[in-house]
Structure 1
Amino acid sequence: MQALQGIRVLDLTRILSGPYCTMTLADMGAEVIKIEPPGGDDTRKWGPPFVHDESAYFLSVNRGKKSLVINLKEEKGKQLFLSMVENADVVVENFRPGTLARLGLSYEVLKAKNSQIILASISGYGQTGPYAQKPGYDVIAQGIGGLTSVTGEPGKPPVKAGFSIADIGTGMWAVIGIQCALLAREKCGEGQWVDTSLLDTMISWQTYLAGNYFASGENPMPQGGAHPNIVPYQLFESSDGYFNVAVGNDQLWKRFCRCINDEQLEQQYPSNKDRVENRTILVNYLQEILYKKTTKEWVDIFEAEGIPCGPVLNFDEIYSNEQVLAREQLVEIEHPTAGKIKTTGIPVKLTETPGKITSAPPTLGQHTKEVLTNLTNLNEEDIEKLLEEEVVKN
């Protein structure tokens, strides 16, 4: 038994935020039917790199799904989709607001077909507000949402996060919204519209930075690898690389000073307030000391005293790391054309209804005939006719 077993999702999403959402639903047991246009999800062509002509980007966020190709711009395609809505629980889309309505597939139309349907919409700025019709992209949301302004080194240009955190985070919020809507439906018997956006995600994640601003009226500034409220809680360079150390309270500070053989420093900056107020002098002093040993040497020393720390790993180190492997965060699956491929694991561990990677990302239209046979009243002749008319494709 899986947590979302028995839940059927019609997935109209493409690129990253939506596919990440629906992949997560599939990992938790939902039947996810990825409905693609005749040309397929754009990311099928995004590369290099490719794995036997399959885009590595597409493979990374589309496991566990069935692919069905429908031309929703054709009336027959639209009616076919609506017939599937009658037997579905969730529809997920990440078009620009208003696109579904222009296709004749607004929430009101879907609800008329199935009062229990849950529509989850992911967009750049949400379904309402003066920015609603603007195109939404991860890098833009990071900038408008404040992340870029606080990322990077002091005195240097702003920097975006190293991967698409606005897209992925919004996909996660959409999963949470869908789960809330499913729970509410159990109580009231009705579906609802879940509205998430990249900008709202970035704002919601500001947390203590927003709190600092509300309290002081001062704009947060980039701190490089440091924390604005705690010192030392940051990245340091060793003789052969980089590592992070998190001295989160004064007791840890005492231990830290013993580790670097400088107990006088403990007396000089006894409280976190003292350390924050003298951040530049203290950090520069610590960096001189910490540069004298390797990353492994410092990590071993600090861990022996219970001080949180860890190396900065490259991807080749991450995917050979014993903890990553023990948590099954690297998984191999068999793809119909690419052969064995590697994918990241499931981050949520459930004891009674665990997630499971059931299948590789589908080829374009791989399940068209299967889905139409099982989910509609169409017979084989009807399906062949739709294929000939290019309303669907396999």
Structure 2
Amino acid sequence: MMGATLATPTAMGDADAVSGLAGALDGLRVLDFSQIGAGPTCSMYLADLGADVVKVEPPGGDVGRALAPPWYGSEAAIFVAFNRGKRSLCLDLKAEEGRCAARRLALRADVVVESFRPGVMARLGLGYGALAAERPGLVYCSVSGFGQTGPFAAHAGVDGIVQAASGLMSLIGGPDDAPSKVQAPIVDVTTGFIATIAVLGAILRRQRTDLGAHLDVSLFGSALALQQSALTQYFAEGRPPERIGSAAPYSAPNEAFRTEDGWIMVAAYLGDRWSRLCAILGRPELAEDARFATSPARLAHRAEMQRELNAAFVRRSTAAWVLELERADILCSPVASFDDLAVHPQARHMGAFGTVGGADGQTYHLPASPFGIRGPVPHLPRLGEHSRAVLAEAGFAEQAISDLMRAGIAREP
């Protein structure tokens, strides 16, 4: 991972303040049936906030455990990314005894998170209706590709498919590029954030009303929310946005320019920043050019503006331009690589990169909690590592647990 540039993950301790959110959900019991990205993102953030998250995995484990390469030590990197701080219960839901055990656990839980196709949990006897009849305060979050109802409800949806189906891919890249996707699973992660917000909102409502909720969170809906401004622009203008690379469709210059040794992103469209930029580039006359005098004019003549600015920016290094532009209060940034990001001073100050401890004794580096929570290194569970303990907490006798283990219905590492 990123070679030696990350050094030691002391960045977690570099932040001056400890988030007041630490332990905010202490005592909250979450039963998580979700796999891969979106649902596990939600349950990971709930764990970050202090919830006790039990991850229910099938005998083969979360599909994310096998989505490799890339491997990270003995684990799939995608599993490391989304599963810190949870406990793993390995349970075969195809067996009646496994379903009965899962139901018993669900009726003790405050929150259930699941990401099966709509209808699967109901067929297992673990749907919201069946559980809420006995536990009306249950917050039940269903994460799916296209929602629990409607003509596409039965369609499976993963991040890339939904990037395509939602129109997001039509926005990415330049005008002559093939359709592209955001390489990071942005829809999965956004869906996880939205699911977390929905769960927290439902918990707050339950505190006032004692009512639970069935939350319907979809990748498709989350991908549409990601395009709030682009879709609003479409409805305003009646035509789809064009693919314009790094540029913004509503202001200019607000895009990346090639420098002598890389790229620089510049936003100089407000106030007199445009005229200051032209002066710094040695082209003060551009500020008075009718084609470029206002942001709407620059949008109308963007290709010509880009030619003029690229010819100027390419004469010097990115670092030299950043130094001069920042001195003039012009918004800019180098286009960073991951190698740059791993040693970014602000990332270190924020504690943006933390660690998680693996059962193999390895320390895994990954993005830290976005809530600014610092504390003991969270744990990455082995498959079934906590099966016995979780079942015992639910009231199963030691003999009953051993029987489930011998039958292969519950499993330990």
For this structure pair, what is the TM-score category when the shorter chain's length is used for normalisation? over 0.9
Task: Provide the rounded CA distance (Å) in 1 between the counterparts of 2:178 and 2:65.
Answer: 33
Unaligned runs of 5+ in 1: none
**What one-letter code is carried by the residue in structure 2 that aligns with 1:318?**
L
Task: Provide the rounded CA distance (Å) in 2 between the counterparts of 1:248 and 1:260.
Answer: 15
Unaligned runs of 5+ in 2: 1-21
Task: Provide the rounded CA distance (Å) in 2 between the counterparts of 1:113 and 1:73.
Answer: 23
Alignment-derived partner of residue 387 in structure 1: 405
Query: Are 1:59 and 2:80 matched, yes or no?
Result: yes
Task: Provide the rounded CA distance (Å) in 1 between the counterparts of 2:229 and 2:362.
Answer: 46
What are the within-5 Å matches in structure 2 for residues 176-325 of structure 1? 176-268=197-289, 269-325=292-348
Alignment-derived partner of residue 92 in structure 1: 113
Q: Residue 389 of structure 2 is aligned with which of 370, 373, 389?
A: 370
SS in 2 for 1:186: helix
Task: Provide the rounded CA distance (Å) in 2 between the counterparts of 1:308 and 1:356.
Answer: 35
Task: Provide the rounded CA distance (Å) in 2 between the counterparts of 1:365 and 1:253.
Answer: 59
* RMSD between superposed Cα atoms in Å: 1.4
Q: Is the 8 A contact 2:140 2:213 kept in 1?
A: yes
Q: Residue 31 of structure 1 is aligned with which of 48, 52, 55?
A: 52
Task: Provide the rounded CA distance (Å) in 1 between the counterparts of 2:356 and 2:146.
Answer: 36
What are the within-5 Å matches in structure 2 for residues 145-156 of structure 1? 145-156=166-177
User: How much identity, in percent, do the aligned residues show?
Assistant: 35
SS in 1 for 2:157: coil
Task: Provide the rounded CA distance (Å) in 2 between the counterparts of 1:132 and 1:356.
Answer: 40
Query: For the structure 1 residues 271 and 228, does the alpha-carbon distance in structure 2 shift closer, same or farther, using more than 3 Å as the test?
Result: same
SS in 1 for 2:382: coil
Query: For the structure 1 residues 137 and 357, does the alpha-carbon distance in structure 2 shift closer, same or farther, using more than 3 Å as the test?
Result: farther
Q: Is the 8 A contact 1:27 1:358 kept in 2?
A: no
Q: Could you tell which deviates more after superposition, 245-254 or 73-82?
A: 245-254
Alignment-derived partner of residue 123 in structure 1: 144
Query: For the structure 1 residues 47 and 170, does the alpha-carbon distance in structure 2 shift closer, same or farther, using more than 3 Å as the test?
Result: same
Q: Residue 128 of structure 2 is aligned with which of 107, 110, 122?
A: 107
Query: For the structure 1 residues 161 and 2, does the alpha-carbon distance in structure 2 shift closer, same or farther, using more than 3 Å as the test?
Result: same
Q: Is the 8 A contact 1:150 1:222 kept in 2?
A: yes
Q: CA deviation at 1:358?
A: 4.9
User: How many matched pairs?
Assistant: 389
Q: CA deviation at 1:333?
A: 3.2
Q: Which runs of 4+ in 1 moved over 6 A?
A: none
Task: Provide the rounded CA distance (Å) in 2 between the counterparts of 1:295 and 1:48.
Answer: 34
Q: Is the 8 A contact 2:357 2:380 kept in 1?
A: no
Query: Are 1:71 and 2:89 matched, yes or no?
Result: no
Q: Is the 8 A contact 1:36 1:70 kept in 2?
A: yes
SS in 1 for 2:44: helix
Task: Provide the rounded CA distance (Å) in 2 between the counterparts of 1:111 and 1:6.
Answer: 20
Q: CA deviation at 1:357?
A: 6.2
For residues 54-75 of structure 1, the C-alpha deviation after alignment (integer angstroms, 9 at most, x for no partner) is: 2122111100000001111111
Q: Is the 8 A contact 1:126 1:197 kept in 2?
A: yes
Q: Could you tell which deviates more after superposition, 186-195 or 40-49?
A: 40-49
Q: Is the 8 A contact 2:355 2:378 kept in 1?
A: no
Query: For the structure 1 residues 114 and 358, does the alpha-carbon distance in structure 2 shift closer, same or farther, using more than 3 Å as the test?
Result: farther
- TM-score norm. by structure 2 comes to 0.91
